[in-house]
Amino acid sequence: MSAWQGMTAADLGRGIGKGEIDPVDLAQLFLDAVERHEYGTRIYARLTPERAMAEATAARERARLKLRRSPLDGVPISWKDLFDTAGVPTESGSQLLKGRTPDADAEVLQAATHQGLVCLGKTHMSELAFSGLGLNPKTATPPNIHNPENAPGGSSSGAATSVAFGLAPAAIGSDTGGSVRVPAAWNDLVGLKTTSGVLSIKGAVPLAAKFDTVGPLCKTVEDAALLFAMMKGEAPIDMAPTSLKGKRFAVLTTTALDDLRDDPRAGFDAAVARFRSAGAEIVDLAIPEVETGIALAPIIYGPEAYGTWKDVIEANPDLMFAEILARFRSGKDFSAADYVAAWHTLDRCRAIYLEATADFDAVLCPTSPITPPSVERLLTDSAYYVTENLLTLRNTRIGNMMGLCALTLPTGTPCCGVTLMADPGAERRLLRLGLAAEAALA
């Protein structure tokens, strides 16, 4: 593997700025790496070589003229295949959308391109983004970095593995119930779940629009911070070294620590111990309303997802993986009155959660209570698929249901992440905190 493939996006950007890295050579290296890689077609749904080379050529000229638009101008990244790309199919991992070719880029892709990022291509994902496992027998299931026979995490499965296998310096995914954080954790990456509405989802194929969010999957917090600022059109976040000394963390004991398997528990406990050693105050915190809110997820997610896709799905249900089809159809089980009442209850739970956590810098939990399950067993044991998928997303869904932003970091235990959750709209503060947490974990 080339040295460039092991570098962070920020370091590649610095190399371009110093004239040590040619953006055209860099883009070509990654395109060639994908073409040669044994798992290239399991990770990428399609490459965009003509676009990549045109964008890289423009970045080269800006670098020559000292007119770079951002710290990542000229750095190539991958995009989950639910972000519209003009003139290039965007199929959201579903045969229902085969051949769907938009006329314009998604707004976040437009923003990233304006800042000089280079689009390598589109990555595979769970079907219509409705699974945390990353299993997709209808298109492709990317391999997990630690064991290709295990699930990669989803739904941003190809996004995570494109970075983990050195086939992109960073990736952009989406997160509705954990779809950035789970694959990031299971492939030892940093993943940022943004607050709903902070980054535009216009031009992104929806799952449940009230919860759909855009987020980066990267090697470092610095990369996540740079990508977040670029997609939002803001100045870069202050990356000066910082510390956990004097910070207050709550360990969420409601729901999030239940039924933890051995490795996730060990990874989480070790991370908390490192945070404490770095000077953070750690307090256990029970919030019963979290359990109430999580129990509402089927009533809130299912009807919105099914209502969004009902006509398309029922026109050709045989084109779908049976487990995903069943998840969508579960939305038929609830009335409009159930849905409205659930939202009233969830709004109350969110208010109580924010009041209970107001004195803390972040709330901590294991990113996922389990490690990646076997793909073969998921395909042959329906009951196992259902239980593993629900467990996979249980902790990440807390952040979505409570309306928070969240950052997962690798703990050093393979496939196990620690999540820091912060108030809605607090991404910049969370990323600064994440820098200090990353340093403590190192």
Q: 């595979």: which residue's tokens?
A: 124
- Residue tagged active-site, from 70, 155, 156, 174: 155
What is the Cα–Cα distance from 329 to 306, expressed in whole angstroms?
6
What is the Cα–Cα distance from 404 to 427, expressed in whole angstroms?
9
Q: Which two tokens stand for residue 173?
A: 């995914």
The helix-helix angle for 288-295 and 382-401 (nearest 10°) equals: 120
Name the residue among 262, 168, 137 with its Cα closest to residue 154.
137
- Residue tagged active-site, from 157, 162, 174, 179: 179
Active site residue 2: no
What are phi and psi for residue 155, nearest 5 degrees?
-85, -5
Q: Which two tokens stand for residue 266?
A: 């060990």
- Residue tagged active-site, from 70, 80, 219, 247: 80
Active site residue 179: yes
Judge whether 397 and 424 are in contact, CB under 8 Å.
no
Active site residue 94: no
What is the Cα–Cα distance from 405 to 382, expressed in whole angstroms?
32
What is the Cα–Cα distance from 85 to 105, expressed in whole angstroms?
4
Asked if omega into 155 is within 30° of 0 (cis), the reply is yes
Strands 405-410 and 417-422: antiparallel
Name the residue among 182, 191, 203, 3 with its Cα closest to residue 83.
203
Q: Catalytic residue numbers?
A: 80, 155, 179
